A and B are shown apart, each in its own frame.
Chain A
Amino acid sequence: EVQLQQSGAELVRPGALVKLSCKASGFNIKDYYMHWVKQRPEQGLEWIGWIDPENGNTIYDPKFQGKASITADTSSNTAYLQLSSLTSEDTAVYYCARMITTQFDYWGQGTTLTVSS
């Protein structure tokens, strides 16, 4: 069974850095592009970027260049999203998702990130 299990909720201080994880089971992440999506409270979905875990190549939405860094560890079948210089604007639920051809067929359950002093 395909599953994407995301790490637990985070409460972090402004200016800090956080790394969220997305552990895949039921498939090999090397065979798919893995994506991250942001959703602020009561807002819509924003695409952050993707990684090709086979070679580590990444593509980001320009809005998230310098803010987000996506990595993957194929040995643990896990994708990561690191966010730096956190502000209240980064408070959101972050989802990982698997892309097949052009669509997201599986999503993680989401990780809630709260940035607050």
Chain B
Amino acid sequence: DIVMSQSPSSLAVSAGEKVTMSCKSSQSLLNSRTRKNYLAWYQQKPGQSPKLLIYWASTRESGVPDRFTGSGSGTDFTLTISSVQAEDLAVYYCKQSYNLLTFGAGTKLELK
């Protein structure tokens, strides 16, 4: 089983700040044939279904603001929000789909 570890578990920031959160996998998510990392990021706001932000580690889903950036490869991945807005208050999950599927435990973004 691939284990996904996210840190920190929660983060309190002020509007306008830059935020970085981490996701680490217990084995590489890089597919040697496709050269893609099978890692996605989802945002879940209170009372809502999750929403796709980033897939293949760094490809932004259509309609997602460009303040959201995914990076990393192999086992270490990062989601960066360049300038946090009030509407970004949510829990952020990473998910691997390299071998079955596994979600990380999430990073809860709170505003100061």
Contacts and interface: CB of A to CB of B under 8 A. Distances in A.
Interface residues on B, range: 20 to 34
B103 A103 contact: no
Contacts of B49: 95, 107-110
Contacts of A59: 100
A20 to B, nearest CB: 14
A89 interface: no
B106 A44 contact: yes
Contacts of B30: none
Interface residues of A, number: 19
Most chain A beta-carbon neighbours within 10 Å: one of B49, B51, B97, B105: B49
Contacts of B12: none
Given A95-B49, A95-B50, A102-B56, A45 B103 contact: yes
Nearest to A104: B52
Judged by DSSP, the binding face of A is strand
Contacts of A102: 36, 38, 40, 55-56, 97
Contact of B103 (A46, A109, A110): A46
Nearest to A108: B49
A102 B52 CA distance: 11
A95 B42 CA distance: 14
A105 interface: yes
A61 interface: yes
A33 to B, nearest CB: 10
Given A101-B55, A102-B55, A105-B52, 7 more contacts: A44-B103, A45-B44, A45-B93, A47-B95, A104-B42, A104-B95, A110-B49
17 contacts: A44-B93, A44-B103, A45-B95, A45-B106, A47-B95, A47-B103, A61-B100, A95-B49, A95-B50, A102-B40, A102-B55, A102-B56, A103-B55, A105-B61, A107-B50, A108-B49, A109-B49
